[in-house]
Amino acid sequence: MAAALPWAAWAALRVAGAERGFPLVPALAFTPHAAATAVLPLAVAAAARSRTGALVAGAAGLALAGAVRGNRGTRRPLPPGGTALRIATVSLRKGLVPARSVVELVRREAVDVLAAQELTPDAERGLREAGLHRLLPHAHVVPARPGSVVSGSGAIWSRVPLHDLGNAPGEFEQPTARVRIGDGAEVEVVSVHTAPPATSPAAVRSWAADLATLPLPDPGVLRVLAGDFNATPDHAALRAVLRRGWVDAAQALGLGSTWTWRPLRPPFPRLVLDHVLVDPRLGVRGCSFARVPGSDHRAVVVDLAVPAAAR
């Protein structure tokens, strides 16, 4: 019975969305790993011939497995027609990702709009010298504010002109810009970068505040939030964001459990930290995950369909 209690407590927190503060918030990111090891207390209970222990361990394992399975999402029907728009998000790992990795990503994936996080002045200069401006000539770069880390900068690059430039509030800079595509359809893109909650109670509070203040879906504009949310679908705070009306592009295609972050050298752990959240009026035609040499994040590349009714 005692061996099953940690998994039972984990399952209760995940199902209830009751994790709060440090270290529970960062721990919940590892829910898939807890689900994968839930067979251990069941084996211990079986060896001890503990009926109660087996029941508790089995219930916890089923709850965790159900939560992880639910993170994948289900395929949503695609509205007919629409103007195509391909958006990608990339984390530059404190500006250390080689510029050629980013330029190759944009070229290979034929990206229309790129949302970047962890930009630095040196990285911005390197991207320009590597020819990013020839592929995506229009840019909105928000430098890190005084007193922030130098990699707190963010950017949006686009094939087509940007307008209504802004910056969403948060721990780091989160540029916003609108693109006009096709026959006049407009989409607003926000390059999201929330504070990581991994190190302290204060970090968790900053992270929660960043998620809570993200822009909402707006009937007056088709909006997309793309970037490093530092949150997985197992976090109640991210699920609260989704309940405001957003659609996770990966979940819309049943890919919501596909990892986007891991350490550079060891292959594990693998976490789902990067997301592209879209207005439900936008159709999600495709979603893929691309390796970016030098980054600890994979790029998320999403194909959207801007429906005729929204023009």
The answer to whether the CB of 294 falls within 8 A of the CB of 300 is no
Q: Which is nearest to 105 in space by CA: 291, 243, 234, 306?
A: 291
- Domain residue spans in the chain? 2-71, 83-310
Name residues whose C-beta falls within 8 Å of residue 295's C-beta, 6 or more positions apart in sequence: 90, 91, 92, 93, 97, 101
Q: Which is nearest to 271 in space by CA: 246, 296, 239, 237?
A: 296
Residue 308, number of CB atoms within 10 A of its CB: 14
Whether the model pTM is above 0.85: yes
Query: What confidence score (pLDDT) does residue 307 get?
Result: 79
Give CA separation, 241 vs 246, 258, 276, in Å.
7, 19, 12
What stretch of H or E contains 168? strand 162-168
Q: Which is nearest to 278 in space by CA: 199, 192, 212, 202?
A: 192
Query: What confidence score (pLDDT) does residue 47 get?
Result: 87
Query: What confidence score (pLDDT) does residue 6 get?
Result: 94
Mean pLDDT by runs of 10 across the 311 residues of the chain is: 90 97 97 95 85 91 97 86 94 98 98 98 98 98 96 98 98 97 88 97 98 97 98 98 98 98 94 98 97 98 82 42
The CATH code for residues 83-310 is 3.60.10.10
Q: Which is nearest to 193 in space by CA: 207, 205, 204, 178?
A: 207
